Amino acid sequence: MTHISDIKYRFRTANMVMKLIYINIAVFLVLRIAGIVCYFSGVNIMSFLSVVELPSSFSMLASSPWTLLTYMFAHYDIFHILFNMLVLYWFGNIFLDFFTPKQFCGLYIIGGICGGLLYMTSYLLFPGLSGSSGWLIGASASIMAIVLATAVRAPHFSLNLLFFGPVSLKWIAICYVIIDLLSIDGTNMGGHIAHLGGAAAGAAFALLMAKGTDISAPLNRFIDFISGIGKQGNPFKKSRNKGAANSSYQRQNKAQGTQASTISKEDEQTLDIILDKIKKSGYSSLTEEEKRRLFQVSSKKQ
């Protein structure tokens, strides 16, 4: 029980990037254990995976619509999930330096949906795929959305890559897209097309955010609504103590408002100064103290 409580605590206190990584790992472990059970039971694992994989046919999707969501959290190959989670961790934490955790979660889902829909559409449009069928699994389209959004928002932000040294995010993103374009004629044509769908969603998100439009907002409002139903049971049922609770909350905010707003303003100024330095000279130019402050302020924003 201690280990379970520790896992719950780590999940509850983790940022949004780590929460999604934990969810992906949990689903992976469930699928792998199910695969072992199927192997010794003489059951075809593919029939089990079809419950979470996205089919290439719109008619098959109609009978299992949940797969448009579940496929982006599922992996079965260990190297597939390892690579995906590493990229999600690196780019996800940079993403949170510029956007909110809710936007991260919303874009992850939007990127997966766009990639999945483009994947299915390709089976209708391209002669090389017509007459065949396939199944899509993995978070790659969602992660490509995060990668492109981060690169468009902070193109000059650099990462220190093994053997290459500091490389700007824009070049890393461009390489990802080129690799997918050059791999379309391979055995995983549909998968690479799905990656491009996610990439397009991520680029569109960042470009529209620069103009003040958040395409993840409607989805996040829907998620908040569903979460409210789960937490409150009936969100339309008024509580007799609601007025007193609101009054108490307002009094507390009034008493603490001056201090909270001052801290928030200082944090925002600190973050702006550090991000300007990153934009001009890259992350590697930060001092240890600036890196520590960036981490602290980013954690508060979560």
pLDDT, tens digit, 9 for 90 and up, residues 11-58: 888 899 999 999 999 999 999 999 899 888 888 877 778 899 999 989
pLDDT tier for residue 172 given thresholds of 50, 70 and 90: very high
Q: Is 290 left (phi over 0), alpha (psi -120 to 50) or beta?
A: alpha
- What count of other Cβ atoms lies within 10 Å of the Cβ of residue 275? 16
Please compute the mean of the pLDDT values over residues 137-159 and round it to a whole number. 94
End-to-end CA distance of the chain: 28
Between 297 and 148, the more confident residue is 148
Angle of helix 288-301 relative to helix 242-281, nearest 10 degrees, comes to 150
Q: Structurally, what CATH architecture does the domain formed by 14-48+55-221 represent?
A: Up-down Bundle (1.20)
Question: At 173, which amino acid appears?
Answer: A
pLDDT tier for residue 239 given thresholds of 50, 70 and 90: very low
104 Cβ neighbours under 8 A, 6+ residues apart: 16, 17, 92, 95, 96, 146
Please compute the mean of the pLDDT values over residues 172-180 and round it to a whole number. 94
How far is 173 from 177, CA to CA, in rounded Å? 6
Where in the chain are the domains? 14-48+55-221
- What count of other Cβ atoms lies within 10 Å of the Cβ of residue 59? 7
Whole-number pLDDT of residue 182:
92
Is residue 251 scored above 80 in pLDDT? Answer: no
Which of 11-20, 105-114, 249-258, 284-293: highest mean pLDDT?
105-114
Query: What Rg, from alpha-carbon coordinates, does the chain have?
Result: 22
3-state secondary structure of 130: coil
The size of the chain, in residues, is 302
Please compute the mean of the pLDDT values over residues 67-88 and round it to a whole number. 95
Whole-number pLDDT of residue 261:
42
SS (H, E, C) 150-181: HHHHCCCCEEEECCCEEEEHHHHHHHHHHHHH
Whole-number pLDDT of residue 232:
60
Between 300 and 228, the more confident residue is 228
Reported pTM: 0.74
